[in-house]
Amino acid sequence: MDQAPATEPDPHPEGEGDNATEGDNATEGDNATEGDGVIHTRALTKRFRGGQLAVDGLDLTVPAGSVFGFLGPNGSGKTTTIRMLMGLIEPTSGSARVLGHPMPRAARTVLPQVGALIEGPALYGFLSGRDNLLRYDAADPTADPRTRRTRVAAALDRVGLAAAAGKKAKAYSLGMKQRLGLAAALLQPRRLLVLDEPTNGLDPQGMREIRSLVRELASDGTTVFLSSHLLDEIEQVCTHAAVMAQGRLLTQGPVADLAAGARGRLVVTTPDTGDAARVLKEQGASDVVITEDRVTAEPPDRELADVNATLVAAGVRVRGFGIERASLEDAFVALTGEGFDVAG
């Protein structure tokens, strides 16, 4: 479903316009190439030296301004994809464009506009939280040294660490480290935020804060690319999502479409479960399951009001009757399977 943008012929063949934009800041004129999305990969593939195929022919398009959820079981290649997008590892084949520029070639142009949290935070334990951020900011040649302290203080404040800014990072808790990592991604106004499991280790307040932060950034026009295992979280904040398994892209598109893809289930609440199940089967419902006082089934292809009327006519005392909408989690499990074991 909805892979149309990726399968259309690429109107921007590789190399076009690259030389003109290599040197300095990305000019707004490049927005033309961003019609394809803030992130656009074509047949992106990474085979590690051990022979492990971590990402396999990935065609991903992240629309500008979206909050894009990047899902997949453990080891499905999400972090590897993010590392390729950030120019940390070289793709084995295929190409990736970020903000309209080829990566990793245009890293110097692209990365100052991108904030990233990759596979958890990494900090200098012997430096304070504030000094950690000062160091990361000093590493960015486009960051203005005169506004550095103000920007660092603002970023610390934004993730709720202002009071712990002077504490050594090795004394931080897991959630505090995660917050500091997020602060590093927010040191400058960014056009794209890439967050690999940003709520890992956060307390409920922290998670809510991050969600509202993501929404707020998105409303300012920042595109957010977010990988997470918390599917209700994705459902709450993301406008779009993609699902990966074993290095391959299973699907991508608006979240509403993905969840709608998995059909909802008919739920009847009744004390007469045996009769209800029998009647539902007669009415054409399949996969009927009885749990305590609930009977669930794949809804039949007919008017549900009639189904209910038939139930009542058959003497089934109906307490509740309705369709339970499929969650993103149902869609995810339907796509990636129930199996718990990580693919080798």
Partner 1 sequence: MSQVEANAAQGRGAVSISGSAAGRDQPQTTRTRRTTFYGTLFRNELLTTFRRWRTIALLAVLAAVPILIGIAIKIETSDGGGVGPGGGGGGGPAFISQITNNGLFLVFTALAATLPFFLPMAIGVVAGDAIAGEANAGTLRYLLVAPAGRTRLLLTKYATTMTFCLVATLVVAVSALTVGAVLFPLGDLTTISGTQISFADGLGRALLIALVVAASLTGVAALGLFVSTLTTSGIAAMATTVGLLITIQILDQIPQLHALQPYFFSHYWLSFADLMRDPVYWDELVKNLGLQALYAAVFGSAAWARFTTKDISS
Terminal alpha carbon distance of the chain: 27
Q: Take residue 206 and report the two structure tokens written for it.
A: 């922290």
CB of 229 to ligand ATP, least distance (A): 6
User: What is the pattern of x (binds ligand ATP, CB under 6 A) and - over residues 65-94?
Assistant: -------x-xxxxxxx--------------
Query: Which of Mg ion, partner 1, ligand ATP, none lies near 324, with the C-beta cut-off 5 to 8 A by kind?
Result: none
Residue nearest to Mg ion (CB): 79
50 near ligand ATP, rule: CB under 6 A: yes
- CB closer to partner 1 out of 145 and 344: 145
- CB closer to partner 1 out of 16 and 157: 157
CB of 12 to partner 1, least distance (A): 23
CA atoms within 13 A on the CB side of 67: 21
CB of 119 to partner 1, least distance (A): 8
228 near ligand ATP, rule: CB under 6 A: no
52 near ligand ATP, rule: CB under 6 A: yes
CB of 264 to partner 1, least distance (A): 38
Query: Which of ligand ATP, Mg ion, partner 1, none lies near 145, with the C-beta cut-off 5 to 8 A by kind?
Result: partner 1
Give every CB contact of residue 300 below 8 A, 6+ residues apart in sequence.
Answer: 280, 283, 284, 285, 286, 307
| Strand residue runs (E) in the chain | 39-47, 53-58, 61-62, 67-71, 93-98, 101-103, 114-117, 192-196, 223-227, 240-245, 248-254, 265-269, 286-291, 294-298, 320-324
Q: Are 37 and 62 in contact (CB under 8 A)?
A: yes
- CB closer to Mg ion out of 200 and 222: 200
- β-pairing, 101-103 vs 93-98, is antiparallel
Give every CB contact of residue 159 below 8 A, 6+ residues apart in sequence.
Answer: 179, 180, 182, 183, 186, 209, 213
CB of 121 to Mg ion, least distance (A): 14
How many residues sit close enough to ligand ATP to count as binding (CB under 6 A)? 12
- CB closer to partner 1 out of 154 and 326: 154
How would you label 30-59 residue by residue, b for 16+ Cβ within 10 Å and e otherwise? beebbebbbbbbbebbbeeeeeeebbbebb
CA distance 264 to 285: 13
Q: How many helices (H) and strands (E) does the chain have?
A: 13, 15
Place of tokens 């295929």: 94
79 near Mg ion, rule: CB under 5 A: yes
- CB closer to ligand ATP out of 83 and 151: 83
The correct pick among 26, 39, 54, 159 for binding ligand ATP (CB under 6 A) is: 54
> Footprint of partner 1 on this chain (CB under 8 A)?
48, 83, 86-90, 107-108, 111-112, 114, 116, 118-120, 122-124, 126-127, 134-147, 149-151, 153-158, 162, 165, 181, 184, 186, 188-189, 216, 220
Q: Are 243 and 71 in contact (CB under 8 A)?
A: yes
Q: By the criterion CB under 6 A, which residues form the site for ligand ATP?
A: 48, 50, 52, 54, 72, 74-80
Q: By the criterion CB under 5 A, which residues form the site for Mg ion?
A: 79
